[in-house]
Amino acid sequence: MRELFDEAAGQSPLDPHEAARQAARAPLRKRFYKEVGVAEAEGGFTVTLDGKPIRTPSSRQVVIPSRGLADAVASEWEAQKEALDPMTMPLTRLANSVIEGVVDRVGSVSDDLAKYFQSDLLFYRAGHPEGLVAREAAHWDPVLFWAAETLGAHFILSEGIMHVKQPEEAVQAARAALPDDPWAVAALHVITTLTGSALLALALAHGARDADQVWAAAHVDEDWNADQWGVDEEAAGRRAACLRDFEAAVAVLAAAKPAGAEGP
């Protein structure tokens, strides 16, 4: 089992693109277990295979914070047929990444995530055509207004791809709004990597945007191009694979929230 996900972890356990590439290259392993279960464990729940808890590539037990999320991870293992395919197990891959790469270094992962506040997707706007400019504004401006009004983070916009230095006060205000739970931080890091926007991820975490709104906002330019010239089938395939990892991260983010907390 550990060998199966060893390559899928890649060099950066929170980079879903690299994890997917590694998983696609890794040889499939034969299913070696008969029964999948969920059991209570110290600090949460664990998925069991024939009564034994699943572990990360470095043999650390995977303890999951909620029963619902543990059931979802267990469903991935149950759905495997004769061979185990990590590409169809995004929740398991993310759970491994949390245990391997986040629980002991939440602060540094948050710092890495916060770097996106300096060059976020939402800052760089098209100058034309008018329809694209309006579509970007419709999807992106509400998030920027929310960051300014709720977090006190006032960012600067730029036309085109010319880099603009963001005020340190804005970056720090947004950084301060990041959660300190390792599962939530890991989920936000994955969402940020997939969307190109830490602000979209943060708005999702705080309930200012829902998952569908975030996914649509992350693909405004791509959808505009598809409307003009048609869908690129290869790009559509990549997007579908990314959506699977995005939905897994959204599920983890929801599971990391305390009962009654604001959010998606």
Segment 108-119, tens digit of pLDDT: 999 999 999 999
* Selection from 50, 49, 36, 45 nearest residue 78 by Cα: 36
Provide the pLDDT for residue 10: 41
pLDDT of 7 higher than 80? no
Provide the pLDDT for residue 234: 87
pLDDT of 150 higher than 50? yes
Q: Which CATH architecture has domain 2-101?
A: 2-Layer Sandwich (3.30)
- Are 178 and 185 a contacting pair, CB within 8 Å? yes
pLDDT tens per residue across span 94-103: 999 999 999 9
d(CA 184, CA 242): 19
pLDDT tens per residue across span 190-235: 999 999 999 999 999 999 999 999 999 999 999 999 999 888 888 8
pTM score of the predicted model: 0.87
Please tell me the CATH code under which domain 106-256 is placed: 1.10.3580.10
Q: How many percent of the chain have pLDDT more than 90?
A: 77
Query: Which residue intervals of the chain are DSSP H helices?
Result: 2-9, 16-25, 67-79, 90-101, 106-114, 130-146, 168-176, 182-195, 198-205, 211-218, 220-229, 233-256
Domain spans in the chain, listed from the N-terminal domain onward: 2-101, 106-256
